[in-house]
Amino acid sequence: MAKIALLIGVSKYQSGFPPLPGAINDIKAMQRVLEHSELGNFNEVKLLENPDSKEMEEAIESLFTKQRNPDDLVLLFFSGHGIKDDNGNLYFAANNSRTNSDGSLAIATAVPANFIYLVLNSCLRCKRKIVVLDCCYSGAFAEGLTPKNIGTIDIEKELGGKGRAILASSSSTQCSYEDTKVSELSIYTHYIVEGIETGDADLNQDGQVSVLELHEYVCNKVKKTKPEMNPKILFKDEGFSIAIAKTKAAPIQQDKFFVGNCKLAKSKHLDGNLYESEVPPLHNFLEKYEVLINELIKRLKNDKFVAALEKQNTLLATIVDNRILDIIRCSSKADCVFIFQHNYKTNSEDEWTEKSRSNFGDNVDQSYIDTLRASVLSAVSYKSIFDTAFHGVYLKISEERKGIPKAFILVPLQIEEKWDSYKGAKYIEKGEFIVICGIEKDSFFGDAYGQIIASFYRASQRLLPNYALVEASILDDLKQAFGFVAPSLYQRRLKLFKERLDRMIVHFEPMLDIRPGCLAIKRWEALARDPVSLKAPIDLFQAAELWGVHFSIELDKYFLKTAIESYRLARIRAKGFEESENVQPLSINVYPGSIMSRAYFKAVREAIWDALQGNPALPPEQIILEISEKTALPIMQSLGDCASPLQEFRKRVLEYTHDTGVRFAIDDFGVGYSSISRLAGLNLPYVKIDREILQHPTSEVIIRFVLDIVKVGNANPPDVIVEGVDEEVLAKISLSRLAKSGVSFVQGHLFGKAGSEIYRLDEEKKKNLKKRLLTD
pLDDT tens readout for residues 201-260: 888 788 889 888 898 899 888 878 777 677 877 765 455 668 888 886 544 444 444 444
Within this chain, do residues 511 and 479 fall inside the same structural domain, yes or no? no
CA distance 411 to 236: 31
Q: Which amino acid is at 12?
A: K
Ordered strands of the 110-112 beta sheet: 82-84, 90-93, 110-112
The sign of the dihedral angle between the CA atoms of 673, 679, 680, 683 is positive
Within this chain, do residues 34 and 144 fall inside the same structural domain, yes or no? yes
588 pairs with which residues across the strands?
A: 526, 625
Within this chain, do residues 488 and 545 fall inside the same structural domain, yes or no? no
- pLDDT band at residue 375, thresholds of 50, 70 and 90? low
- pLDDT band at residue 391, thresholds of 50, 70 and 90? very low
Flag whether pLDDT at 395 surpasses 60: no
The sign of the dihedral angle between the CA atoms of 744, 745, 751, 757 is positive
For the ranges 65-79, 190-204, 595-609, 716-730, which has the lowest average pLDDT? 716-730
CA distance 525 to 511: 7
Top pLDDT among 143 and 362 is at 362
For the ranges 229-233, 267-271, 489-493, 653-657, which has the lowest average pLDDT? 267-271
Q: The domain that contains 411 carries what CATH number?
A: 3.30.450
Predicted pLDDT of residue 312: 57
Q: Which residues contact 533 (CB under 8 A, 6 or more apart)?
A: none
For the ranges 177-186, 392-401, 457-466, 623-632, which has the lowest average pLDDT? 392-401
Within this chain, do residues 462 and 523 fall inside the same structural domain, yes or no? no
The sign of the dihedral angle between the CA atoms of 544, 124, 639, 41 is negative
- pLDDT band at residue 699, thresholds of 50, 70 and 90? confident
Q: Name the most confidently modeled range: 226-230, 285-289, 425-429, 583-587.
A: 583-587
Top pLDDT among 272 and 348 is at 348
Closest CA to 148 of 209, 97, 206, 108: 97
Flag whether pLDDT at 749 surpasses 50: yes
Predicted pLDDT of residue 121: 80
The CB density around residue 771, as the number of other CB atoms within 10 Å, is: 10
Within this chain, do residues 95 and 184 fall inside the same structural domain, yes or no? yes
Q: 342 lies in which domain range?
A: 289-494
Per-position DSSP letters for 17-35, written without gaps between them = S---THHHHHHHHHHHHHH
CB 210, CB 163: distance < 8 Å: no
Q: How many domains does the chain have?
A: 3
Average pLDDT over residues 177-187: 61
Average pLDDT over residues 558-568: 95
The sign of the dihedral angle between the CA atoms of 658, 659, 663, 666 is negative
- For the chain, what's the residue count? 776
CA distance 655 to 661: 9
CB 528, CB 537: distance < 8 Å: yes
Predicted pLDDT of residue 742: 85
- In degrees rounded to 5, what are phi and psi of residue 375? -65, -40
Q: Is residue 275 part of a domain?
A: no
Neighbour-count burial of 489, counting CB atoms closer than 10 A to its CB (0-12 exposed, 13-18 middle, 19+ buried): buried
Domain-terminating residue out of 494, 522, 547: 494
Within this chain, do residues 312 and 386 fall inside the same structural domain, yes or no? yes
Predicted pLDDT of residue 310: 58
Q: Is residue 27 part of a domain?
A: yes
Flag whether pLDDT at 599 surpasses 50: yes
Flag whether pLDDT at 124 surpasses 50: yes
Predicted pLDDT of residue 703: 82
Top pLDDT among 665 and 464 is at 665
CA distance 433 to 382: 9
The pTM of the full predicted model, rounded to 2 decimals, is 0.66
Predicted pLDDT of residue 283: 57
Average pLDDT over residues 431-451: 74
Q: Is residue 259 part of a domain?
A: no
Within this chain, do residues 13 and 36 fall inside the same structural domain, yes or no? yes
Top pLDDT among 676 and 240 is at 676
Domain-terminating residue out of 230, 246, 262: 246
Within this chain, do residues 439 and 521 fall inside the same structural domain, yes or no? no
Maximal C-alpha separation, the chain: 87
Please, what is the average pLDDT of the chain? 79
Flag whether pLDDT at 152 surpasses 50: no
Q: Is residue 744 part of a domain?
A: yes
Within this chain, do residues 469 and 512 fall inside the same structural domain, yes or no? no
CA distance 694 to 723: 9
pLDDT per residue as tens digits for the range 308-363: 765 555 545 567 788 899 999 999 888 888 888 777 666 565 566 778 888 887 76
CA distance 38 to 525: 60
Predicted pLDDT of residue 32: 94
CA distance 374 to 380: 10
3-state percent helix, strand, coil for the chain, nearest multiple of 5: 40, 20, 40
Q: Is residue 422 part of a domain?
A: yes
Predicted pLDDT of residue 303: 86
**Using H for helix, E for strand and C for coil, what is the string for 236-247?**
CCCHHHCEEEEC
For the ranges 222-226, 258-262, 546-550, 673-677, which has the lowest average pLDDT? 258-262
pLDDT per residue as tens digits for the range 719-744: 899 998 888 878 778 888 888 888 99
Domain-terminating residue out of 185, 218, 246: 246
Q: Is residue 272 part of a domain?
A: no
Q: Is residue 258 part of a domain?
A: no
Predicted pLDDT of residue 272: 39
Q: The domain that contains 107 carries what CATH number?
A: 3.40.50.1460
Helix (H, G, I), strand (E, B) or coil at 57: helix
Within this chain, do residues 38 and 114 fall inside the same structural domain, yes or no? yes
Within this chain, do residues 115 and 47 fall inside the same structural domain, yes or no? yes
Predicted pLDDT of residue 334: 87
**What value, to the nearest 5°, has the Cα angle with vertex 322 and ends 316 and 324?**
95
Within this chain, do residues 536 and 467 fall inside the same structural domain, yes or no? no
